[in-house]
Homo-oligomer: A and B are copies of this chain.
Amino acid sequence: MSGHSLLISWQLKDKNVLIVGGGEIAAQRIDSILHTEAQITLVAPSDGLNSRTKQFVASHPDRISYHDRLFSGVDELKNIDMVLTALDDPEVSREIVDICRTFRIPVNAADIPPLCDFYFGAQIRDGPLQIMISTNGKGPRMASLIRDRLQKGLTGIEGGAIQKVGELRELLKERAPGIGGEVGKKRMKWMTKLCNTWSLEELAMLDKETMSKLLDQGWKQNAVPTLKDIGGRPRHDVDKARTGDSFVFSKQVFFASVIGIMTGSLCTAYLMAVRRQ
């Protein structure tokens, strides 16, 4: 299938994002950008700010630089790395997009897809884990429905597991420093093997002590021990705890019991009757 967008993870560390508008969409955009490390410049007349936008401005003075005015022209784009318009006026949006094109600044104009360099999608966030669901413009509500369905498939430990793997990776880099080359490949191979053999549940249980043992007994000998090998709870118990191997009294179990009791009664009655004759 051709015609897809390119889903990417845009880096905003030390960047400046201009948001024009102060309504509900602006609040959603501010929320998205606050999750990054970018600075926000917000341009909107104060009488057009909704309560959520007002709250963001009040609670994040270090991140949001607010200007109580209408968009005033090209000077607003000085030192700006990305622009998000959240306006009811398509004409002003179009004007802003034109200026962005001139300076090749990535821009999203809310509600006007043809003017956008990029779209937003439904998202799941869990610590360092981020998931985006895009329907390629076919239905924003469907993206939310798929998100809810995916969310049910996650146990909630995924973000924690990723966090721990990231920490272990940093410790490994301290022990075996160097960018790229042979050592880089060896590190990547070892980390991949660990992620492939340990369950997410086990990875999420890593602590400083287990990490040390893992590097001492594993990395040094170029092997990946099991959690049990290095003195942790064995994998079976963890999996059992997770999948909940407990007795569930389902409809099927109920019928099986009833049919069992009837079968047992009839057979016994028959056998005893036969024996008595």
Contact = CB atoms under 8 A, between A and B. Distances in A.
Contact of A149 (B34, B154, B266): B154
Interface string A131-170: 1111111110110011001101110001001110110010
B150 A131 contact: yes
Contact of A131 (B131, B145, B152): B131
Chain copies in complex: 2
Interface in A30-63: 32-38
A277 interface: no
B9 A121 contact: yes
A128 B138 contact: yes
Given A33-B6, A257-B256, A132 B135 contact: no
A2 B166 contact: no
Contact of A4 (B35, B119, B142): B35
A4 B125 CA distance: 9
A138 B163 contact: yes
Given A139-B162, A139-B195, A264-B263, A3 B36 contact: yes
Contact of A5 (B12, B158, B169, B203): B12
Contact of A260 (B121, B152, B250, B264): B264
A257 B3 CA distance: 55
A270 B262 CA distance: 15
Interface stretch (A19-27, A104-112, A213-221, A233-241): A104-112
A1 B36 CA distance: 8
Q: Considering residues A103, A135, A153, A254, which has the most beta carbons from chain B within 10 angstroms of its beta carbon?
A: A135
Given A127-B1, A268-B264, A7 B6 contact: no
B165 A142 contact: yes
Interface in A248-272: 248, 250, 252-254, 256-269, 272
A191 interface: yes
A129 interface: yes
A195 B141 contact: yes
12 contacts: A2-B35, A5-B11, A6-B10, A6-B32, A11-B118, A129-B133, A135-B162, A149-B200, A256-B257, A256-B260, A258-B260, A265-B268
Interface of A: 1-12, 32-38, 90, 103-106, 108, 111, 116-121, 123, 125, 127-139, 141-142, 145-146, 149-150, 152-154, 158, 161-163, 165-166, 169, 180, 191-192, 195-196, 200, 203, 247-248, 250, 252-254, 256-269, 272, 276
